[in-house]
Amino acid sequence: MTVLFECTYRGRRHIGLGLPRDGEPLTLTPLGERDLLTPLAAGEDITELLADAEWLTVAPAERDAVGYRPPLLPERPGDALVGGFMQTHNVKVDAETPAQPAWFLKGLGDVLRTPGQELRAPASAVALTEEAEIVLVYIGDADGLPRYVGYTFGNDLTDIGRFRNHRGHLSYAKLCDAGVAPWLFLGEPPHEVTGRVTVERHEALCWQGEFTTGTKALHYGLDAITDELFSHHTLLAPGRVHYVYIGADRSSFHDGFRIADGDRVTLDFESHGVTVSNPVRRASPGPAPAARETP
């Protein structure tokens, strides 16, 4: 399966193919004026798009100069929407499970954080938890209809305590940053994904547990729930990139654990060779300006 990634190197955006391994050189080509979104939305083969590319090699000693970007993230964060579905997995099904899972919006493209970057959550969060998830990536075609192009993996950091205290506060509970791997797998969503979560506090292991996800673990048909989602015109626009988190297995919260400020949460998607590791920062922005009366 083809894997596409984007990065910055020496002040310019580059793209590469394959899943980079530690200690190995990187092979990159400058993005330049290339438009990846339009041809990918049209189903074109990425290898054909790059057939005439000029490639350069980044030695292992220079790897620190490479900064990875969320896959296909537009230059303007407002051209991307990050959201997902809640309680989609079979392990979370109960008598009250609806026919269509709840959908939430996490934010625009700037809530995505690649490995190593901080995941921000409100200082007032009640109980934070990680959620190890598959992330589907769609691009709006010329008519605005989202076209699936591939998947990656991520951490849907959630204030599950707020949701548990007030079921109507799902939208608030999800307004935390989202971890995302830079690697875009250009294939169908995986049937089964297995891995492990570790949480470190002051550089010491304080919780770990395993997870299973993938289409096999879902209570819902993936096509059915995404078709319903994208039947709403308010979400559609040509060139818009959608990142859809499709739900998680049980998390550390279900084991009685609470993520604290400064903890490092590492999700090892072991079956696919991908790691998403981020420190968590609980903080709130300054107070909003007072509303002014309309004259």
Cα dihedral value 84, 125, 202, 270, nearest 10 = -10
3-state secondary structure of 86: coil
Phi-psi region of 253 (alpha: psi -120 to 50; beta: other; left: phi over 0): alpha
Position 144 scores a pLDDT of: 95
Confidence of residue 108 (pLDDT cuts 50, 70, 90): very high
Position 179 scores a pLDDT of: 98
3-state secondary structure of 150: strand
Confidence of residue 294 (pLDDT cuts 50, 70, 90): very low
Position 193 scores a pLDDT of: 98
Position 285 scores a pLDDT of: 75
Q: Are 261 and 281 in contact (CB under 8 A)?
A: yes
Position 167 scores a pLDDT of: 84
Report in angstroms the alpha-carbon separations of 51 from 34, 45, 47, 83, 183: 13, 10, 6, 34, 20
Q: What is the mean pLDDT of the chain?
A: 94
Report in angstroms the alpha-carbon separations of 283 from 125, 138, 246, 256, 280: 9, 31, 26, 23, 10
CB atoms inside a 10 Å sphere around CB 164: 13
Position 79 scores a pLDDT of: 97
3-state DSSP: the chain helix, strand, coil percent, rounded to 5? 20, 40, 40
Position 293 scores a pLDDT of: 44
Domains in the chain with CATH codes: 3-68 (no CATH), 77-282 (3.90.850.10)
3-state secondary structure of 252: helix
For 170, the token pair is 């799902």
CA–CA separation, 88 vs 99, rounded Å? Answer: 10
Confidence of residue 287 (pLDDT cuts 50, 70, 90): low
> Tokens 């009685």 sit at which residue?
256
Position 286 scores a pLDDT of: 61
The pLDDT of residue 265 is above 70? yes
pTM: 0.94
